[in-house]
Amino acid sequence: MERVAQNGLVLLGCGKMGSAMLQGWLEGGMAPGSVHVIDPKPSDWLRAAGVHLNAELPDAPAIVLIAVKPQMMGDALPSIAAMGGGETVFLSVAAGTPISAFEAAFGADSPIIRAMPNTPAAVGRGITAIIGNARSTEAHLALAETLLAAVGQVVRLDHEDQMDAVTGLSGSGPAYVFYMIESLAAAGEAQGLDADLAMHLAKATVAGAGMLAETAAEPPDELRRNVTSPNGTTEAGLEVLMDAENGLLPLMERTVTAAAGRARALRHG
């Protein structure tokens, strides 16, 4: 992070994801004066953050974080293309844009790291997968990890093709969980619960089970068995959910496959 303090950081795009990361950095002690943000529609919070906003950029910042929407990429990249070919690290959190597209813009001799975060980053509970190009060193990847850790966990991939599966699982996964909460609440209503109570129970159950799964020493299958009494209520529900043909496992396999397939299709144009 010393290089960031000395050479500065450029944040290209400051929507929900960019704002979540910037807030994490500032709360972690990063000096606002070392951050340069380019955003056409800055929020009131961003205007008051003390960063350099839509001002002249440093010639060779330590890192450029690209957080614009994929459809805005064509207009945004030329503004920073001159930073390529040196020690500036380009870190992209833009979905669907492959490393090759950034190498075409900045040159293959530029360190380029592609990342796939997810929306729980907004509350510091995201998980981000990263992969770097051939020019990215361990130091470059470590810097990216340090920055992305401000919004949650970070994992490294072995090759870029895995990014489509990550997109289908953790990138799109929060939406699946939100729909599960909706469905649990609707099922509770169908059993006679008030709508607000059913939603409260569903939210707390999913959030609590997720926290337990993440923090417990036991794996999820053991946690499941621990709360499943023979011939009990949980077993009756799981018999439906674990049906080999129509249960949750084949449904989730089709769900993740569909999302990963769409990611591949978008990547190949």
The alpha carbon of 232 is separated from its chain's Cα centroid by a whole number of angstroms, namely 38
Spatial neighbors of 21 by CB under 8 A, at least 6 apart, are 11, 65, 67, 93, 121, 147, 148, 150, 151
d(CA 144, CA 21): 12
d(CA 142, CA 51): 24
Question: Over the stretch 79-135, which tens digit does the pLDDT of each residue have?
Answer: 899 999 989 999 999 888 899 999 999 999 999 999 999 999 988 999 999 999 999
Tell me the average pLDDT across 166-184: 97
So what's the pLDDT on residue 79?
85
d(CA 55, CA 124): 28
What is the average pLDDT score of the chain?
A: 93
The CATH class of 2-159 is alpha beta
Asked if pLDDT for residue 266 goes beyond 90, the answer is: no
Considering just the CA atoms, what is the radius of gyration of the chain in Å? 21
Helix runs in the chain, H state only:
2-7, 16-27, 44-47, 73-76, 99-106, 138-148, 162-166, 173-190, 195-215, 220-226, 233-241, 248-267
What percent of the chain is predicted at pLDDT more than 90? 81
Domain boundaries, the chain: 2-159, 173-267
So what's the pLDDT on residue 95?
81
The CATH class of 173-267 is mainly alpha
Distances (CA, A) of 200 to 183, 205, 233: 13, 8, 21
Tell me the average pLDDT across 140-160: 95
* Tokens 């093709």, residue located: 161
So what's the pLDDT on residue 269?
63
Distances (CA, A) of 70 to 13, 65, 84: 11, 14, 19
Asked if pLDDT for residue 1 goes beyond 80, the answer is: no
Tell me the average pLDDT across 138-159: 95
Asked if pLDDT for residue 232 goes beyond 90, the answer is: yes
Tell me the average pLDDT across 198-205: 98
- What backbone phi and psi angles, to 5 degrees, belong to 10? -110, 130
- At residue 32 the predicted structure's pLDDT band, cuts being 50, 70 and 90, is very high
So what's the pLDDT on residue 4?
80
d(CA 22, CA 118): 15
So what's the pLDDT on residue 70?
75
* Tokens 């929507």, residue located: 15
Question: Over the stretch 43-86, which tens digit does the pLDDT of each residue have?
Answer: 999 999 999 999 999 989 999 999 988 777 888 888 899 999 98
Spatial neighbors of 110 by CB under 8 A, at least 6 apart, are 84, 85, 86, 88, 90, 102, 103, 135
